[in-house]
A and B are shown apart, each in its own frame.
Chain A
Amino acid sequence: MTDSKYFTTTKKGEIFELKAELNSDKKEKKKEAVKKVIASMTVGKDVSALFPDVVNCMQTDNLELKKLVYLYLMNYAKSQPDMAIMAVNTFVKDCEDPNPLIRALAVRTMGCIRVDKITEYLCEPLRKCLKDEDPYVRKTAAVCVAKLHDINAQLVEDQGFLDTLKDLISDSNPMVVANAVAALSEIAESHPNSNLLDLNPQTINKLLTALNECTEWGQIFILDCLANYSPKDDREAQSICERVTPRLSHANSAVVLSAVKVLMKFMEMLSKDLDYYGTLLKKLAPPLVTLLSAEPELQYVALRNINLIVQKRPEILKHEMKVFFVKYNDPIYVKLEKLDIMIRLASQANIAQVLAELKEYATEVDVDFVRKAVRAIGRCAIKVEQSAERCVSTLLDLIQTKVNYVVQEAIIVIKDIFRKYPNKYESVIATLCENLDSLDEPEARAAMIWIVGEYAERIDNADELLESFLEGFHDESTQVQLQLLTAIVKLFLKKPTETQELVQQVLSLATQDSDNPDLRDRGYIYWRLLSTDPVAAKEVVLAEKPLISEETDLIEPTLLDELICHIGTLASVYHKPPSAFVEGSRGVQHKRLPPRSGSNESTESPDVAPSATAQPSEQQPAVIPSQGDLLGDLLNLDLGPPVNVPPIPSSTVQMGAMDLLGGGLDSLMGDETEGLGGDLSGSPAIGAGYGTPAVMPTSLNAPIGGGLSELFDLGGMGMPSGSFVAPKTIWLPAAKAKGLEISGTFSRRMGHIYMDISLMNKAMQVMTDFAIQFNRNSFGMAPAAPLQVNAPLAPNQTIEASLPLNTVGPVMKMDPLTNLQVAVKNNIDVFYFSCLYPINMLFVEDGKMDRQIFLATWKDIPNENEVQFQIKDCHLNADAVTNKLQSNNIFTVAKRNVEGQDMLYQSLKLTNGIWILAELRIQPGNPNYTLSLKCRAPEVSQHVFQAYEVILKN
């Protein structure tokens, strides 16, 4: 066979020649020609011009030729829908063929042709094939239903195919069952609320029976489907577990991982006192270890999953440390993952071994790996107190090697060790200072500066050291600048006499010469503090820092639980919920672990919307010190790229330091959201950075909490709320805009509305000349400045832009009210899309009404304008509610307590001067609030209610 010759035909006039050959009388020649066509298609040549000629070859009894023609059809039918109809007859005929292989081939191919007219003809043959006597045809037809559903969901429902598919779950042939399960699971995913896959004990029993008999792939489909089932009690859970455990011995790693998923999930329901619970735990370890002898790619998938499992149930693998030791020729991705798991498993019992290994790794070649190993030593010190001393001395040894990146990494972790064990290892500071000059990475420089500032009283020449950094202040990264500012203020408070000049210098650098708002904000705070009340300044700046917690890199618990439900899948590899990387409706549904039965823990009702269940700000304390002090935590705010906040006019300074800080933080949170997703487990510093600073007024807790919950609810489709920046949603998909993808969100910062958008170029050419325009809209929203996209946008690149908006544009009432139609122009074309802005963008800062006026206005507005709403499942007290709302410019005018209920009277004002008055009734112990809104323009009430809901639930 020398089919490779087909790849080399590049002559001119080729298409013409092929056409002649395709129409040749000789069968062999015809077949050769079709092969050439397919080869051209593969290498990316356009051979669609040959469509009629190729389709003519379809009528043949040569199966090989038929398959080739079908392959061609699947590729080009969409571009030639009218001609594709020519093929229908042959398909319909083939579906009646006596040979089951041909029947199946026809129905399989027909489902892949995405032409509306063809799908109409597909229904009848498909119906027959679903009931075919041959299992091979039935299993193919089952998948075909999923294909058809992808093209035309309505058609599938109307034609009753879903019921036929459900019937196939009871088919006698295991492979038919497996494919039917796969198809149903996929269809069910795009209808999250339908009861399509209504799993009941009978169907589960059928699936478990088929599980023993079908192919390895079928077993995966069935196990993945089983994982979505919620057993009614612990006994059912146990009996399913018992029947799933034999799969742990399957040679196919995917079968094993899917079985692990089912077991990990159902185990939640088993009581820990049960004997079976212990047995199950023991059974899980060996197969997980065996996965590590698979090929490296699978090892990687397994390790990413083990990382989750170790966090969820550390007891399973606690004795298996050795298998995670790195082998010299493991691929780097396996090495890095193993290292991560080693640290998680490190305990007092095995720390000696772990440290010996880590020290070994720190001498390897790969820079990333070495860095991670050094960092791991530091994490061991923090995790296992008994080992701290050994870790520190190991780190000092490594610093002596003078390998640049090793030294830098070591200094970063030593900073954390200082914070964990204060007043213990400060003797090493001298050694660290020797290496000051070799530090060229921001993180290391920042860490070193922190150390100098923190221990300024023990370092004789601290002022000189810090002064030396100050020379190149403007060239430093934000992280270093912030750190330097704080360090010098600390130094000043400790040695005020010698360093007055230095502190003046840094404050003026930070506030006057910098255009970074965060740096300026922090500079102003210090300046005010120092100038108004030096004693207070000392208390604030030099306050005792809380100890950093042991594991700052844990995945947030609700996310972890969700990921456990996704074991084996991409989500578990990325450590992100599917909604973060899957487009459209699929996977947006959040999966949750079943509640443990027999325990007293409050089990949330299942109908709570996913976004409302996550309350990370409350569950955080285990990971983040919730009462951290301002400095310690601000220090750790790790600013990656420069934050996208447009320069703030200097007048805003008068608004007071507090507001400035609030605004700065909010925008920070928002901008960090995206980058964090991928790095949730990465840097320990990030976690600590979000603690709630104690010195801030409590009212600021609300936006921070909001930022957090959004953070962990990446890509959640919820309506973006108040002053925090919701994650961006895609407004304009690339497919509709010649490769330009626009996603964005709205935010309100410092009394200005911004539209934060990212422009992503998914096309192959560079994009330039961006401009933006809005259509008339309900509140006169319009760009306050032209869209600033300075650099041309290269392929695969993303640019973030923040567009300031005003509300003085032309007004036209839209439906829905908050609809905004936008036109974006670039060098390629003009594109149009529309998006909704959250109404709370329009709540102005001076929306607080005087008490008397409130009373008068309330009476004045006719009663028919009053609308009542229920806010469900909100667990805040009246004060928290007040604070949360206030930070979103909803002001509480008065508060009354009537018969144990709290009544809050609130006012807010829209940019166009419309006042909305509200009465919020909160009964202690009742999670449902009653909200009455009165307004002269009642059409806004619904939107205001939504804003309330979003603000309160985030």
Chain B
Amino acid sequence: MIGGLFIYNHKGEVLISRVYRDDIGNRRNAVDAFRVNVIHARQQVRSPVTNIARTSFFHVKRSNIWLAAVTKQNVNAAMVFEFLYKMCDVMTSYFGKISEENIKNNFVLIYELLDEILDFGYPQNSETGALKTFITQQGIKSQTKEEQSQITSQVTGQIGWRREGIKYRRNELFLDVLESVNLLMSPQGQVLSAHVSGRVVMKSYLSGMPECKFGMNDKIVIEKQGKGTTDESAKSGKQSIAIDDCTFHQCVRLSKFESERSISFIPPDGEYELMRYRTTKDIILPFRVIPLVREVGRTKLEVKVVIKSNFKPSLLAQKIEVRIPTPLNTSGVQVICMKGKAKYKASENAIVWKIKRMAGMKESQISAEIELLPTNDKKKWARPPISMNFEVPFAPSGLKVRYLKVFEPKLNYSDHDVIKWVRYIGRSGIYETRC
């Protein structure tokens, strides 16, 4: 199991060090070994797991802060990284951004958290909802016996993510379907790979211990239901989507999903991620990028890029940005674009073309002339792909929320009384076209 956990600043000074196991030996040696061999290493880090003198170090970086877990045993590596991410989440939810300043300001809190969420190197309950009930930095004020046992039963309980007795005047929930669409396209317009990774993020403000059921146009569910009335299945079959794989927040009853493919759960209070999914079939690619690069002699490049929007004309895409890489020996660039603004950014070696808004079924174009300095560098320019960023108000996977039902038998509000908001946002993930 995890033998120790260190947090360093960018200079390699240790800000937090907590040792859980005797086998990692001298704390100083372990702390120094990581600093010398990883943080101060001359070469770029080649692996997130480093073995130094039979000791293994796992690290993640958040801005310029290094978090490192140390062990001498054959630990579950995936668990260690999941834990480190979780640790970051917990810290972020307690004091915001993970920075040297914040860590120094909250070091007592961090030690207290580390004591609670890692025991002898074994991760324990790390749901912030539960932790915040008893790790507060204000000292536990004399709690009643009931309060105490409520805390402990929540921390260890089956529903560790929600406490009892939550009350809202207005029962409300917000459902965001956030998708990022990823594309790799060849210069000829052939889709090399495309997938959507989506997340359903929920903000729930519901009283009591509500039982929720979430439904979407999952092909498997729709086909199962449609068996009775063949008419309907043909109709709805068009709108259903094939989900390659999905994963759920720990509140979702996985065995029920496995057997009935229904998504039922008692939600945590506040914001959390209900599910993640991935689709690869019938993806709506919101934009098509058509590049044209021509080398004119050894000192000039001509670039023309056309983008086409491919969705309903009534919808508007936002925050569109096209990034056209330029060679390292670029000396000057002239750009002409039909819409938006384009600029050559020498520090980023790219032409950045920004368009605020663009409706569906439209087309726009940019052309640029790139002057190059003559070099004797034998190595060819690698021609990185043209990448794109955007945001569209629909789900490129075609996912639709069919229902989200709320039942709370103990309290007197029904599904109708809950105010529900649903929103779809499609963003570009890695959306690249090779040129």
Contact = CB atoms under 8 A, between A and B. Distances in A.
A640 B279 CA distance: 47
Nearest to A151: B22
Nearest to B186: A356
Contacts of B81: 253-254, 295, 297-298, 301
Contact of B432 (A176, A289, A328): A328
B123 interface: yes
A218 to B, nearest CB: 9
B417 interface: no
A569 B254 contact: no
A796 B35 CA distance: 14
Contacts of A70: 115
B78 A253 contact: yes
B347 interface: no
Interface in B39-91: 44-49, 51-54, 56, 58-60, 71-79, 81-85
Contacts of A38: 107-108, 111
Most A Cβ at <10 Å: residue of B45, B81, B155: B81
B385 A176 contact: no
Interface in B100-121: 101, 104-108, 111-112, 115, 119-120
B328 to A, nearest CB: 10
Contacts of B58: 297
Contacts of B134: 101
Interface in B182-240: 184, 192-193, 195, 197
B76 A289 contact: no
Contact of B48 (A136, A297, A402, A403): A297
A333 B54 contact: no
Nearest to B100: A4
Nearest to B124: A217
A333 B46 CA distance: 6
B398 to A, nearest CB: 18
A176 B85 CA distance: 24
B74 A571 contact: yes
Interface in A1-57: 1-4, 6-7, 35, 38-39, 42-44
Q: Give the interface SS of chain B, mostly helix, strand, loop or mixed.
A: mixed
Nearest to A368: B46
Nearest to A175: B156
Nearest to A326: B184
Contacts of A296: 48
Nearest to A357: B192
B152 interface: yes
Contacts of A3: 104-108
A289 B75 CA distance: 23
A99 interface: yes
B122 A323 contact: no
Most A Cβ at <10 Å: residue of B45, B111, B124, B250: B124
Interface string A243-263: 101110111111011100000
Contact of A250 (B22, B158, B247, B383): B247
Contact of B246 (A71, A249, A586): A249
Given A44-B14, A64-B137, A135-B156, A250 B254 contact: yes
B380 A363 contact: yes
Contacts of B365: none
Interface in A49-97: 62-64, 67-68, 70-71, 75
A647 to B, nearest CB: 32
B111 A71 contact: yes
B270 interface: no
Nearest to A133: B149
A573 interface: yes
B378 A364 contact: no
B433 to A, nearest CB: 11
Given A136-B155, A582-B73, A403 B379 contact: yes
A112 B19 CA distance: 10
Interface stretch (A138-146, A866-874, A928-936): A138-146
A467 interface: no
Interface in A539-587: 566, 568-574, 578, 581-583, 586-587
A286 interface: yes
A705 interface: no
B245 interface: yes
Name the interface size band of chain A: 35 or more
B314 interface: no
B139 A300 contact: no
Given A1-B106, A3-B107, A328 B156 contact: no
Given A99-B143, A301-B77, A301-B81, A333 B48 contact: yes
A77 B75 CA distance: 27
B46 A327 contact: no
Contact of B434 (A243, A332, A360): A360
Given A68-B111, A329-B430, A571-B74, A220 B139 contact: no
A333 B134 CA distance: 40
Contacts of B158: 174, 213-214
B335 interface: no
B249 interface: yes
In the A-B complex, list the 5 residue pairs whose CB atoms are closest, starting with the nearest: A286-B245, A4-B104, A136-B152, A254-B78, A254-B79
Given A75-B19, A99-B148, A101-B140, 14 more contacts: A3-B105, A35-B108, A43-B14, A44-B14, A182-B1, A215-B127, A216-B82, A290-B245, A293-B278, A295-B60, A327-B430, A333-B46, A572-B77, A586-B73
Interface of A: 1-4, 6-7, 35, 38-39, 42-44, 62-64, 67-68, 70-71, 75, 98-101, 104, 108, 111-112, 114, 134-137, 139-140, 143-144, 146-147, 150, 173-176, 179, 182, 186, 212-217, 220-221, 224, 243, 245-247, 249-254, 256-258, 286-287, 289-290, 293, 295-298, 300-302, 322-323, 325, 327-329, 332-333, 353, 357, 360, 363-365, 401-403, 566, 568-574, 578, 581-583, 586-587, 735, 760, 762, 764, 796
Interface of B: 1, 13-17, 19-23, 25, 28-29, 31-33, 37, 44-49, 51-54, 56, 58-60, 71-79, 81-85, 101, 104-108, 111-112, 115, 119-120, 122-127, 134, 137, 139-140, 143, 145, 148-149, 151-153, 155-158, 160, 184, 192-193, 195, 197, 244-250, 253-255, 257-258, 273, 275-276, 278, 378-380, 382-385, 387, 430, 432, 434
